[in-house]
Amino acid sequence: MLEQFRKYIASNHLINKGDRILVALSGGVDSMGLAELLRREGYDITFAHCNFHLRGKESDGDEQFVREYAERVGVKLFVKQFDTLQFVENNKVSVEMAARELRYTWFDELVNSDFDKLALAHHADDQIETFFINLLRGSGIKGLKAMQPRNGMYIRPLLWASREEIKKFAIENGIQWREDSTNSDTVYLRNKIRHDLMPVFDNIKSESREKILESVNNLASENQLYRELLQEKISQIETVNGVLHSVNKRHFDRPQGVEKSSANIKLQLLFEWIRSFGFSYSQCESIFAALDGDPGKEFYSNDYQLVVEKETIEIFPKAINALNAFNALKVEKFEKTPNFSLQTSNSNIAQLDYDTLKLPLKTRFWQQGDRFHPLGMHGTKLVSDFFNDNNFTTFQKKTTPILVDANDQIVWIVGHRIDDRFKITEKTKTIYEIKCEK
């Protein structure tokens, strides 16, 4: 087994020379086998043990067992105790999800502080069980490909080995371990698959586990190809302008009379684009349905806002820094001469009557109720109406700078229209010219 272990690490480039490796050590046969294999190979290892306090004295016994083992072999050990049930109550999640979140949050903190890799004892049977768990959750190809030998700082050097192979290695080498009594409790989905489902496959075909693993590996390769082609497709249809990401709605059109599977392909393409911004599949279904409705429908993830516009779908951060909207305003002040010619062709230049301005000027974004006197118009107009009349998108409304004077009077909708009160007239003596470089 040691030779296979070496080959798997080398072929998957799991450990580099000099790596400091944190080993997740529960005290079970899998993690104890991994710890001994790494230790006997001479790697620089440290152990990390989680006590979730879910099995009373048994949990404390696991902790004591791991402490004694670490002391005996002379390896440093970190131990973290969790109030898992309190976390479940506070966050309204399952015990399994709570333990997972607590465990990996702590592991991440440790690795980021002083380690290069985190070694996990997942093996081939875990891989198969994870495949069926994801299958029952309705996962797509990304979920069905299951775990990989390496995922960032996480490494899984035992994915090639079965549970029985690891147990046999432990017995032959006098490695002790602790049995988790909950491993036989079929209230947990993973245990149901392990104890109820897998024996059925074993009876159907003696090589069933090997063939399932082969399928998982094939899915992993196909997923990699799919992701590469998908990124190529998204790069072709997506327009990125600073923090704004947009795609024309025609790329998700659902032609009349086509099969449902064709519509599902469009839905899946939409999901693959928006998922990286934190939107869920259920949100994607709602967004997809909104494509045929009135424009302006808005959706939110934790950090992003998505708006279905008339012709496009636009995504941008919920919090937008004004400095990202434009580079700078450049100001020039000069006296008006007889041969002065008013600039009217470039909307990014505002020429103003200096003597009408209350300095200092500043920029801000649109606020509800803002009004101004559009150049050439009698009376005032809501800025929101000006935006709508000029077909501004939600993103443009949120990011178009508004130049105001010291009294917060609107001087210029930057890049679009100045206020009539500050225009140049025959009486103007001094011109205040502002250029916007977007």
Q: Domain spanning 323-437: which superfamily? A: Phenylalanyl-trna Synthetase, Chain B, domain 3 (3.50.40.10)
Share of the chain above pLDDT 70, in %: 96
**Cα(189)–Cα(90) distance, integer angstroms:** 23
**Cα(56)–Cα(297) distance, integer angstroms:** 51
User: What's the pLDDT score for residue 327?
Assistant: 45
pLDDT at residue 408 above 90?
Answer: yes
User: What's the pLDDT score for residue 129?
Assistant: 94
pLDDT, mean over the chain: 92
- Helix, strand, or coil here: 396? helix
- The residues of the chain that CATH labels 3.50.40.10 are 323-437
User: Which tokens hold the place of 216?
Assistant: 């998982």
- The residues of the chain that CATH labels 3.40.50.620 are 2-124+145-187
User: What's the pLDDT score for residue 138?
Assistant: 87
Strand order in the sheet with 117-119: 77-81, 44-51, 20-24, 117-119, 154-155, 150-151
pTM of the model: 0.70
Picking from 402, 424, 404, the residue whose alpha carbon sits closest to that of residue 415 is: 402
Picking from 125, 136, 110, the residue whose alpha carbon sits closest to that of residue 20 is: 110
pLDDT at residue 9 above 70?
Answer: yes
- Helix, strand, or coil here: 374? strand
pLDDT confidence band for 39 (50 / 70 / 90): very high
The full DSSP string for 231-248 is HHHHHHHEEEETTEEEEE
Output the CA torsion sign for 375, 379, 383, 389: negative
Task: Decide: 387 and 315 in contact? Cβ < 8 Å.
Answer: no
User: What's the pLDDT score for residue 404?
Assistant: 95
User: Which H or E element spans position 172?
Assistant: helix 163-172
DSSP 43: -
CA distances to 104, 305, 317, 358 from 402, rounded to whole Å, are 46, 22, 20, 15
- Overall average pLDDT of the 127-149 stretch: 89
- Overall average pLDDT of the 312-316 stretch: 96
**With respect to CATH, is domain 2-124+145-187 assigned 3.40.50.620?**
yes
Q: At what angle do helices 208-237 and 124-136 cross, to 10 degrees?
A: 60
Which one is predicted more confidently, 144 or 156? 156
